[in-house]
């Protein structure tokens, strides 16, 4: 077991400042699988996403994260990104004065260089980006504007998915991508995500609500509470959570059914 996992998280403990936020996460994700991570606010969902992407400010105190069998601990965030780990942010930042299209091109070429592919020139990039923008119904005017500056909530989330479509990562981590989206925007974003599903690509979909999982149907659902996975099940678990809430699970013993795929 584990030999064919793309992502293997073993007994992961992590702290932010003095607070221990992750207290023993075990999880395995095989190529092609989509897992949902659900849980109440403050349970450690977003921390898990940030720790996987290598955000500074978190300290892994115990356990390991293996990606394609390689320990991520020593890898800088950009190294992880170049190996195919992508985080769609819950709150994408604004960067004044840096044009969205310039940023996307710099990002794509950095990732391509890591894959041993040549830089895309301006024309090829434009063709590619236009094609992907259609998938998420993004107006072209957003490309010339500064990154996320003055974008609506929906536009920011679509911009995240657009980047994901362009970069074609192997591991997609979606951090509450559904938050702040109306139902139409949710459908657009979900169809963008689904366009990327494939046998070689895995996804970790972090969400508070079951709603997103109507559109992005997971293979497994994990419930995280107080920094541990307290329950795992099939996609029907999400529906159960929708009906019963999280409270009935929070008392479950640590690691009760954790992570067996």
Partner 1 sequence: MTERNAIERLANREYEYGFVTDIESEYAPKGLSEDVVRLISKKKNEPSWLLDWRLRAYRRFTELLAEEREPTWAMIHYPKIDYQDMYYYAAPRRKALASLDEVDPELLRTYEKLGVPLEEQKLLAGVAVDAVFDSVSVATTYKKELEKLGIVFGSFSEAVQRVPELVQKYLGSVVPYSDNFFATLNSAVFSDGSFAYVPKGVRCPMELSTYFRINAQQTGQFERTLIIADAGSYVSYLEGCTAPMRDENQLHAAVVELVALDDAEIKYSTVQNWYPGDKDGKGGIYNFVTKRGKCAGRRSKISWTQVETGSAITWKYPSCILQGDGSIGEFYSVALTANRQQADTGTKMIHIGRNTRSTILSKGIAAGHGQNSYRGLVRIGPKAAGARNYSRCDSLLLGDRCGAHTFPYLEVQNASATVEHEATTSKIGEDQLFYCRQRGISEEDAVSMIVNGFCKEVLRELPMEFAVEAQKLLGVSLEGAVG
Judged by DSSP in three states, 158 sits in: helix
* Comparison of 57 and 253: residue with beta carbon closer to partner 1: 57
142-151 burial, b for 16+ CB within 10 Å, e for fewer? bbeebbbeeb
Shortest distance (Å) from residue 122 CB to partner 1: 8
**214 close to 191: Cβ distance less than 8 angstroms:** no
Nearer to partner 1, 4 or 124 (CB): 124
- Quick check: 128 and 152 in contact, CB under 8 A? no
CB of 142 to partner 1, least distance (A): 16
In the complex, what is the shortest distance from the CB of residue 148 to partner 1, in angstroms, rounded to a whole number?
Answer: 9
Q: CA angle at residue 122 from 96 to 79, to 5 degrees?
A: 65
Degrees, nearest 5: CA angle 97-47-74: 80
Query: What gap in Å lies between CA 40 and CA 5, rounded to an integer?
Result: 27
- CB-wise, 4 or 79, nearer to partner 1? 79
The closest of 44, 57, 56 to 9, measured between CA atoms, is: 44
Rounded CA-CA distance 261/14 in Å is 23
Query: Which is nearer to partner 1, 99 or 239 (by Cβ)?
Result: 99
CB of 29 to partner 1, least distance (A): 19
Closer CB to partner 1, residue 55 or residue 208? Answer: 55
Residues that bind partner 1 (CB under 8 A): 53, 55-57, 76-78, 80-82, 86-87, 89, 92-93, 95-98, 102-103, 106-107, 110-111, 114, 122, 146, 163, 167
CB 235, min distance to partner 1, A? 28
């Amino acid at each position: 077991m584990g030999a064919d996992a793309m992502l293997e998280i073993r007994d992961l403990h992590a702290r932010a400042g003095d607070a221990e936020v992750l207290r023993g996460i075990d999880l395995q994700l095989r190529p092609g699988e989509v897992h949902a991570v659900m849980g109440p606010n403050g349970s450690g969902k977003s921390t898990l996403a940030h720790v996987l992407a290598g955000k500074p400010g978190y300290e892994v105190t115990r356990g390991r994260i293996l990606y394609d069998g390689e320990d991520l601990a020593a890898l800088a965030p950009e190294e992880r990104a170049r190996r195919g780990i992508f985080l769609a942010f819950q709150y994408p930042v604004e960067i004044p004065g840096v044009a969205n299209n310039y940023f996307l091109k710099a990002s794509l070429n950095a990732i391509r260089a890591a894959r041993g592919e040549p830089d895309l020139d301006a024309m090829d990039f434009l063709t590619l980006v236009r094609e992907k923008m259609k998938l998420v119904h993004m107006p072209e005017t957003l490309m010339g504007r500064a990154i996320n500056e003055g974008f609506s909530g929906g536009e920011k989330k679509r911009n995240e998915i657009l980047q994901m479509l362009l970069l074609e990562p192997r591991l997609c981590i979606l951090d509450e991508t559904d938050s702040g989206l109306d139902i139409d925007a949710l459908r657009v974003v979900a169809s963008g995500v689904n366009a990327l599903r494939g046998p070689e690509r895995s996804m970790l979909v972090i969400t508070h609500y079951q709603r997103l999982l109507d559109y992005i149907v997971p293979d497994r659902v994990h419930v995280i509470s107080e920094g541990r996975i307290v329950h795992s099940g099939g996609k029907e678990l999400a529906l159960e959570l929708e009906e019963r809430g999280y409270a009935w699970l929070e008392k479950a013993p640590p690691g009760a059914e954790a992570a067996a795929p």
